[in-house]
Amino acid sequence: MGFFYYFGTLITFKEPSNTNFRLMKKLFLLISISFFIACSGIKRTQKALYSGDYSEAIDIAVGKLQKDKNKKNNEEYIYLLQDAFKKFTEEKKQEINHLRKENANAEKIYRNYTQLTHVQRQIKPLLPLHFQSGKEAKFKLKNYSDELITAKNNYAEDLYYSAESDINRANKLDYRKAYDKLNKVSQLKPNYKNTTQLLEDAQFYGTDFVFVGLENQTNQIIPRRLEQDLLNFDTYGLDDRWTVFHDIKQDQINYNYEIYLDFKTISIIPERIVQKEVHLEREIKDGYTYKKNRNGDYILDEDGHKIKIDQYITASGDLLQTEQSKGIQVVALVEYFNTKENRVYQKFPLKTTFVFGNQYARFRGNKKVLTTEERQLLSLHSVPFPSNEQMLLDAGNDLKYKFSEILKRNHL
């Protein structure tokens, strides 16, 4: 005798042959899983409905019925959808009436009509829906087009006048609030009144304009190319809707902040050539011979091959190493200046060092003594020292990186 517990109920049956029994177990398992999944979906829908989350209940039920609205097991979803839709509609209408009495919050009224329209669009393609008895489920659909248009117009107008009020306060943060509101107006009603012009004004007056300049207090000329590279803000990743950097001042703009990269010292470490002669002497492998016994006969390994013995010799020679070097050190200060308060309010030191180096070598003696690295030096040769200008350009990469890190960490 065999048995199963099926959702708390003990089921017994006469045990058939092993093959049939295995097939029955698999079939029973599939039925159980299908039943569990179906119950799980219904319970989720019921939970959403009874907790007042009517939108969630509608979404689940619609999703199930879209797959097969005539499926017998989906009848429960029709009941739940009918109930959820009715309660959802009643709730939204009550909220709209309440908001209208208060004569406020045009946004919520618009959102409610949008949600009512969206839910009807979800359900309409499924209609008609019938129960197993043949009775048709009831869904009182209504065309909310007029109400939706009116609500949208009211919401756009509400946003517009609120943005105007923000602009009239002539405060930078209020300009930014106005911009966001006007942007919503443009999405709701393109070309509404003078929204386009107000958007441009809000963008301009809500923006922090920052002038960034270079100052040179050294006796070195800073290459124009380096200046352009340091002031190329497109490469700094400082994109911000409300902050714009300029490297050339524009007359019609009042700059809120100014940042200066002030070069204090540029020190050149002079050209230097250092030579060093190294005597090399090493034992190196130089061929091999075969192992013999006392009688002079070759000794063989287990495979019958002659056993080899490495031979070593002492090799020597003189390696003349030459090292070229030249360096540059740049010391600067990044200063943040508040134009309204007419004062420097932040300072950050900046220092970078760049060293040019080149090595090569010449050799006399047995080249077998050389290592791989030493052989590579023999293939190299002397090169011209870079100019001071080139050294400064080479140091510019690290200089720009450090400057950009200061700007990112201390973004306005």
Which tens digit of pLDDT belongs to each residue from 259-315?
A: 999 999 999 999 999 999 999 999 888 888 888 888 888 888 888 888 888 888 898
CATH of 213-281+319-409, one of 3.30.70, 3.40.50, 3.40.1000, 3.30.160: 3.30.160
Q: Where are the domains of the chain?
A: 2-142, 150-206, 213-281+319-409
Residue 257 in this model has a pLDDT that exceeds 80:
yes
In sequence order, the 6+-apart residues with CB closer than 8 A to the CB of 178 are 163, 164, 166, 167, 198, 202, 206
* pLDDT of 4: 44
pTM above 0.75, yes or no: no
Report whether 192 contacts 199 (CB < 8 A): no
Q: Which two tokens stand for residue 91?
A: 């709730």
Q: Which helix (H) or strand (E) holds 322?
A: strand 308-338
- pLDDT tens column, 19-28: 554 555 544 4
Q: Which two tokens stand for residue 269?
A: 């470490």
Angle at CA 198, nearest 5°, toward 195 and 203?
Answer: 125
- pLDDT tens column, 225-248: 999 999 988 888 777 889 999 999
Among residues 214, 213, 210, the alpha carbon closest in space to that of 330 is found at: 214
Separation between Cα atoms, residue 193 and residue 157, nearest integer Å: 10
Report whether 215 contacts 263 (CB < 8 A): yes
Residue 38 in this model has a pLDDT that exceeds 50:
no
